[in-house]
Amino acid sequence: MIETIRVEYGLDKPLPEQFVRYVSSIFQGDLGRSISTSRLVTEQIADALPNTIELVIVAMGFAIIVGVAFGVISAVWRDSIIDHAVRIFAVSGIALPMFWFGLLLQLFVAVQLGWLPVSGRIGLVTELPQPITHLLILDSLLTGKWHTALEGLSYIAMPALVLSFPCLASIARVTRAEIIETLASDYVLGARAQGLGLFSIQIRHALRNAMLPVLALIGLR
C-alpha cells in the first residue's frame, strides 16, 4: 500500500527528478492531488478562493475606514488622551502577533461572551443564496437574503478584524502623521487666515492631501 502511494505520487524518483516534474506540472496548471483528501489541489483552491477574496475585501475595507478615522481623530486632538490612546492602539496593532490576537478574540468574544461564532463560514441550517459572484455576503445581498448576509458577516467579523489589525494600525499612524504635517503647511495656515472653518480645512484640504501616502500604503498591503 505504501509503495503504491509512493509510485503514484512519484516519491520513488530521485529528488532532482521530483523537483523538475513538480515545476513543469505547475507551469501546466497541474498542482497534483492532496495527500490528505485525494482531491485535486486546483479544485481545493477554487473552493476556498471566493471565501478568501471576501475575507480580504471585508478586512481591507474595515482597515481603511477605521484606520483613516482613527488617524484623523488622533491628529485633530493631538497630544490629548484620545491621541495617546490611538497611538498606543496603533503600536499594539503593529507589535501584537496576529495569531495571538486571534486566539484572544476567540477565547473572550466567542467562547466567554458568545457574541460571535468561534469558527466556520455559515450556519449548517442556513439557506444559501443562489451563486452569482460566489461571494456569500454579496450574493445574499443581491438575492435579498438579508438574514444570510448578516449571519455571514457575523462569521467573517473576527477573522477580518484579526487580518485587518496590523494594516489598520499602520494606516492610522500614517494618516495621523500626514494630517499633522499638512495642518502645519503654509496653504492651510493661509486658509485659516482667510476665515475658513476648521472642519472644512481638516476634511476638504488636510485629509485630501494626506491621503496620497495612505493610498500608497494601502497599495503596498
User: Are the C-beta atoms of residues 31 and 40 closer than 8 Å to each other?
Assistant: yes
146-183 helix and 98-105 helix, angle to the nearest 10 degrees: 130
User: Are the C-beta atoms of residues 90 and 169 closer than 8 Å to each other?
Assistant: yes
- What torsion do the CA atoms of 211, 216, 219, 221 make, to the nearest 10 degrees? -100
Nearest to 173 by CA among 217, 203, 205: 217
What is the gyration radius of the CA atoms in the chain, in angstroms?
A: 24
Digits of tens for pLDDT over the chain (221 positions)? Answer: 677 777 767 777 788 887 888 888 888 877 777 777 778 888 888 888 999 999 999 999 999 999 999 988 888 888 889 889 988 888 888 888 888 888 888 888 888 888 888 888 888 888 888 888 888 888 899 988 889 889 889 999 999 999 999 899 999 988 888 888 877 777 767 766 766 666 666 666 677 777 888 888 887 76
Q: What is the pLDDT of residues 135-174, one digit of tens each?
A: 888 889 998 888 988 988 999 999 999 999 989 999 998 8
Under 8 Å CB-to-CB from 50, ≥6 apart: which residues?
133, 134, 135, 136
- How far is the C-alpha of 158 from the C-alpha of 77, rounded, in Å? 29
* Per-residue model confidence (pLDDT) at position 60: 92
- How far is the C-alpha of 157 from the C-alpha of 128, rounded, in Å? 18
